[in-house]
């Protein structure tokens, strides 16, 4: 292995690229969960975003419309979840699971005519700087706009939750919807907004896969990334920055273990394959062991049905 | 959506306790490991099913069935719902297929790529993909500049190991300095992971990428990186027109039609089928003109010789990694040895995961 500094730069760049869908989906789900709603439909919303984005790209030949459309499709499908859980008061877990199954089936049906169409090249930013600066070039430059957005998102989410009034409202709704409601907050409306936002981010995460990362549509192409994003939110104890760290560790070790295999490290391959899951959990558990902070961040009413008596 | 529809239909029939008369409509069931739209392994089996349907025989299929407990349930439901012949099209369905076959002696089962025929109503069939791998190895050995071939492997089963060995032997013959780097992804189908594996191999110096996984992501990654690649199971050329040198294509259709008709007419017998280039179960995609006319001619000749039996992919002397002789000089490996292949030949780097 050429362990020179510029190679490490390239490696870090590709690790960042592989973490993007996890960061986007987990950040979206984090807001949803902080408002007290447990949406297990992440995988379903991602796959719908992936097919919508790809289909719109093929039909309109416009990547901007494709990206926006994928987010809208995430909003629409999460609206179904919102309507069922918030207006019809169905169980969050069951509805979320149904949403995932529905999303996978629907995307396969919608995607029938889009299988086998090669994707379009997605523009990357500052590609000249990527080549000219060793080490930092491939890390900082030459990525798609979605990647820069994804890496800003956890910090924005953190700021939103901690420093803004709206963030406080979301947290209040997630911790004690009854008190929030007594304070005159429209709990259902806040939760609807958080669900739709989560849907938009999951849609974008799916579109990142089908438009940028592996530009094509294939059935079931999210391949379980939605479930990993869900787990990340929990293991990161609902902290946006820890979600970012967890996603980077997961993506990083996934790619590192492939490199280790290619180099020919004499470590059992099964162990290497399990390593991303193992390390992500260990690291997140270790950095989140402060129980006071966990209590502070955990939405107390997560998954509980709230209705306003009239 | 059809998948769920059929699942509901099948469960409904099962729950209501309909006993379907086996003399009624003759029906063939298919169990797939991936989605029919994978443009690889499952896609080709589905093409085979379409051919059966075109021959006027009713078929149903269930896609994306995980290998393991779920598979047994699905196979059992197909058997219970009046299917007369069931094709189970992935290696991991081997034990479930035999288990269900025991309980349904009147239903015929065809298991792809396996070797267990525990009951008289179970046949196995496979294709000699390794003949295609020999051609890929020859091409790769000639085309590589870095002398490094990257191989994305799925699971450590004989079929995959056989492919790695066949490819390496052929590449060594034309280029003694060749190195095969292998990455195990432990999945048949995960476009993101397959792309990452391809990228890792390219970063480690491989300039020819080969895959034993089902999605088109590796060839697209190769196209982007400007290295060579080969299509797997299906002609993947349009996904990477510059990068793909050729594809190994599985053509199950003639076999499926023949077996379905035999089962319908009552002439079906248990057998173990292993067809290759000769019978057309393994076919090659178009050769990329970037290979140059001479190499194309050479490979076409080799393809003919493999089909006629003049050349065998595993001709001795063949040594394992430690230097022990596996196949003596002048001999060829017999089918039993090929079917159970579980060691790397000399020149492959690394260990087989246990």
pLDDT tens digits, one per residue of B137-181:
999 999 999 999 999 999 998 899 999 999 999 999 999 999 999
Orientation of helix A165-175 relative to helix A187-207, angle to 10°: 100
Contacts of A214 in chain B (CB under 8 A): 191-192, 195, 217, 220-221
The pLDDT score that the predictor gives to residue B20 is: 42
Residue B257 lies in a domain: no
CB neighbours of B286 closer than 8 A, spacing ≥ 6? B235, B237, B246
- CA distances (Å), B7 to each of A103, A224, B2, B259, B307, in order? 17, 22, 8, 25, 41
Domain enclosing residue B61, as ranges = 2-127
Give yes or no for residue B23 having a pLDDT over 50. Answer: no
How is residue B340 written in tokens?
A: 């159970």
What does the alpha-carbon distance between residue B143 and residue B167 come to, in Å, rounded to a whole number? Answer: 14
Query: How many angstroms away from the CA of B301 is the closest CA of chain A?
Result: 31
Residue B217 lies in a domain: yes
Last residue within a domain, chosen from B105, B127, B149? B127
Asked if the Cβ–Cβ distance from B196 to A14 is below 8 Å, we say yes
Contacts of A24 in chain B (CB under 8 A): none
Asked if the Cβ–Cβ distance from B199 to A219 is below 8 Å, we say no
Nearest 10 degrees: CA dihedral of A14, A17, A18, A21? 180
Residue B155 lies in a domain: yes
Q: Which residues of A222-260 are buried (b: 16+ CB within 10 A; e: fewer)?
A: bbebbebbbbbbbbbbbbbebbbbbbbbbbbbbbbbbbb
Last residue within a domain, chosen from B127, B158, B187? B127
Query: How many angstroms away from the CA of B270 is the closest CA of chain A?
Result: 35
Which among A108, A262, A263 has the least Cβ separation from residue B35? A108
**Given 3-state DSSP classes, what are the helix, strand and coil percentages for chain A, each rounded to the nearest 5?**
75, 0, 25
Residue B168 lies in a domain: yes
Query: How many angstroms away from the CA of A114 is the closest CA of chain B?
Result: 9
The pLDDT score that the predictor gives to residue B209 is: 97
CB neighbours of B41 closer than 8 A, spacing ≥ 6? B33, B34, B89, B90, B188, B214, B232, B233, B234, B250
The pLDDT score that the predictor gives to residue A3 is: 57
How is residue A31 written in tokens?
A: 């807001």
Residues of A with a Cβ under 8 Å from any B Cβ are 1, 7, 10-11, 14, 18, 21, 101, 105-106, 108-109, 111-112, 115-116, 118-119, 209, 213-216, 218-221, 223-225, 254-255, 258-259, 261-264, 266, 268-270, 273
Last residue within a domain, chosen from B95, B127, B159? B127
Residue B268 lies in a domain: no
Nearest CA-CA partner of B138 in B230, B201, B27: B230
Asked if the Cβ–Cβ distance from A264 to B181 is below 8 Å, we say yes
Looking at residue B113, which CATH number applies to its domain? 3.40.50.2300
Span A53-91, pLDDT tens digits: 999 999 999 999 999 999 999 999 999 999 999 999 999
**What is the number of CB-based contacts under 8 A between chain A and chain B?**
121
Residue B83 lies in a domain: yes
Confidence category of residue B12, pLDDT binned at 50, 70, 90: low
Q: B132 — contact with chain A (CB < 8 Å)?
A: no
Give the count of domains, chain B.
2
Burial class (CB in 10 A: 0-12, 13-18, 19+), B22: middle
Residue B269 lies in a domain: no
If asked whether residues B96 and B19 sit together in one domain, one would say yes
If asked whether residues B168 and B113 sit together in one domain, one would say no
Confidence category of residue B9, pLDDT binned at 50, 70, 90: low
Nearest CA-CA partner of B60 in B5, B18, B123, B97: B5
If asked whether residues B32 and B44 sit together in one domain, one would say yes
DSSP class of residue B315 equals B
Closest B-chain CA to A1: B204
The CB density around residue B286, as the number of other CB atoms within 10 Å, is 12
Q: B203 — contact with chain A (CB < 8 Å)?
A: yes
Nearest CA-CA partner of A203 in A33, A62, A25, A40: A25
The ipTM estimated for the assembled molecules is 0.77
Nearest 10 degrees: CA dihedral of A215, A221, A227, A233? 10
Nearest CA-CA partner of B131 in B278, B5, B240, B19: B278
Mutate to test the interface with B, among A103, A254, A261, A266 (most CBs of B within 10 A): A261
If asked whether residues B115 and B235 sit together in one domain, one would say no
Contacts of A219 in chain B (CB under 8 A): 34-38, 64
If asked whether residues B187 and B202 sit together in one domain, one would say yes
If asked whether residues B309 and B332 sit together in one domain, one would say yes
Span B189-211, pLDDT tens digits: 888 899 999 999 998 899 999 99
Closest A-chain CA to B218: A214
If asked whether residues B159 and B296 sit together in one domain, one would say yes
- CA distances (Å), B11 to each of B15, B79, B307, in order? 6, 12, 45
- CA distances (Å), B94 to each of B99, B187, B226, in order? 9, 17, 39
Judge if the upstream peptide bond of residue B328 is cis by omega within 30 degrees of 0. Answer: no
The CB density around residue B54, as the number of other CB atoms within 10 Å, is 10
Q: Which residues of B288-317 are buried (b: 16+ CB within 10 A; e: fewer)?
A: beebeeebbebbeebbeebbeeebbbbeee
The pLDDT score that the predictor gives to residue A75 is: 97
Question: Edge-to-edge strand order for the sheet containing B179-184?
Answer: B179-184, B148-153, B208-211, B228-233, B244-250, B282-284
Question: Mean pLDDT across chain B, nearest whole number?
Answer: 90
Residue B277 lies in a domain: no
The pLDDT score that the predictor gives to residue B17 is: 44
Q: Are A272 and A51 in contact (CB under 8 A)?
A: no
If asked whether residues B45 and B152 sit together in one domain, one would say no
Contacts of B200 in chain A (CB under 8 A): 255, 258-259, 261-262
How is residue B184 written in tokens?
A: 């195990």
Span A273-305, pLDDT tens digits: 788 888 888 887 887 777 787 777 888 888 888
Contacts of A216 in chain B (CB under 8 A): 191, 216-217, 220, 239
Query: How many angstroms away from the CA of B183 is the closest CA of chain A?
Result: 5
If asked whether residues B154 and B84 sit together in one domain, one would say no
């Amino acid at each position: 292995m050429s362990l020179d500094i510029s190679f490490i730069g390239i490696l870090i760049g590709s690790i960042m690229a592989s973490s993007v869908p996890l960061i986007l989906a987990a950040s979206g789900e984090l807001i949803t969960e902080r408002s007290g709603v447990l949406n297990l439909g992440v995988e379903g919303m991602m796959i719908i975003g992936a097919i919508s984005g790809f289909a719109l790209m093929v039909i309109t030949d416009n990547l901007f419309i494709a990206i926006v459309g994928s987010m809208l499709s995430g909003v629409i499908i999460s609206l179904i979840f919102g309507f069922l859980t918030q207006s019809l008061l169905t169980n969050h877990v069951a509805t979320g699971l149904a949403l995932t199954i529905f999303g996978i089936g629907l995307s396969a049906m919608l995607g029938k005519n889009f299988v086998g169409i090669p994707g379009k090249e997605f523009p990357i930013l500052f590609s000249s700087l990527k080549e000219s600066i060793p080490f930092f070039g491939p890390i900082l430059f030459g990525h798609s706009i979605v990647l820069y957005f994804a890496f800003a998102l956890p910090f924005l989410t953190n700021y939103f939750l901690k420093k803004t009034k709206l963030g406080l409202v979301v947290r209040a709704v997630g911790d004690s919807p009854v008190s929030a409601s007594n304070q005159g907050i429209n709990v259902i409306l806040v939760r609807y907004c958080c669900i739709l936002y989560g849907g938009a981010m999951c849609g974008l995460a799916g579109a990142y896969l089908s438009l940028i990362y592996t530009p094509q549509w294939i059935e079931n192409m999210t391949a379980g990334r939605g479930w990993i994003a869900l787990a990340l939110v929990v293991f990161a104890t609902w902290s946006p920055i820890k979600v970012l760290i967890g996603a980077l560790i997961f993506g990083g070790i996934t790619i590192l273990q492939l490199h280790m295999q290619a180099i020919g490290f004499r470590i059992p391959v099964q162990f290497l394959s399990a390593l991303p899951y193992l390390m992500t959990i260990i690291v997140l558990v270790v950095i989140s062991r402060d129980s006071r902070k966990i209590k502070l961040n955990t939405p107390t009413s997560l998954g509980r049905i709230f209705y306003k008596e009239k | 959506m059809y998948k769920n529809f059929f699942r509901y239909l099948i469960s409904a029939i099962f729950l209501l306790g309909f006993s379907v008369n086996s003399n009624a409509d003759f029906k063939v069931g298919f169990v797939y490991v991936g989605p029919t739209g994978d443009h690889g392994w499952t896609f080709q089996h589905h093409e085979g099913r379409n051919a059966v349907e075109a021959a006027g025989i009713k078929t149903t299929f269930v896609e994306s069935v995980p290998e393991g407990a779920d598979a047994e349930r699905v196979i059992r439901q197909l058997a219970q719902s009046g299917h007369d012949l069931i094709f189970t099209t992935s290696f991991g369905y081997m034990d479930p297929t035999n288990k269900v076959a025991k309980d349904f002696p009147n239903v015929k089962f065809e298991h792809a790529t396996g070797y267990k025929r525990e009951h008289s109503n179970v046949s196995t069939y496979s294709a000699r993909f390794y003949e295609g791998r020999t051609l890929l190895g020859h091409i790769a050995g000639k085309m590589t500049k870095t002398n490094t071939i990257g191989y994305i492997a799925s699971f450590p089963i004989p079929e995959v190991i056989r492919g790695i060995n066949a490819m390496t032997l052929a590449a060594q013959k034309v280029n003694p300095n060749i190195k095969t780097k292998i990455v195990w992804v432990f999945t048949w189908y995960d476009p993101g992971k397959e792309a990452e594996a391809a990228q890792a191999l390219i970063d480690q110096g491989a300039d020819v990428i080969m895959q034993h996984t089902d999605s088109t992501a590796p060839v697209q990654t190769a196209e982007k990186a400007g290295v060579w690649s080969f299509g797997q199971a299906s002609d993947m050329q349009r996904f990477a027109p510059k990068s793909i040198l050729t594809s190994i294509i599985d053509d199950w259709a003639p076999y499926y039609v023949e077996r379905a008709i035999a089962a319908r007419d009552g002439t079906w017998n248990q057998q173990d089928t292993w067809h290759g280039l000769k019978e057309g179960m393994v076919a090659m995609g178009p050769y990329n003109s970037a290979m140059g006319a001479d190499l194309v001619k050479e490979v076409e000749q080799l393809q003919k010789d493999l089909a006629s039996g003049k050349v065998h992919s595993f001709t001795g002397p063949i040594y394992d990694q430690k230097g022990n002789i596996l196949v003596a000089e002048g001999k060829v490996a017999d089918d039993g040895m090929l079917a159970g292949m579980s060691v790397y030949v000399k020149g492959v780097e690394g260990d087989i995961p246990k």
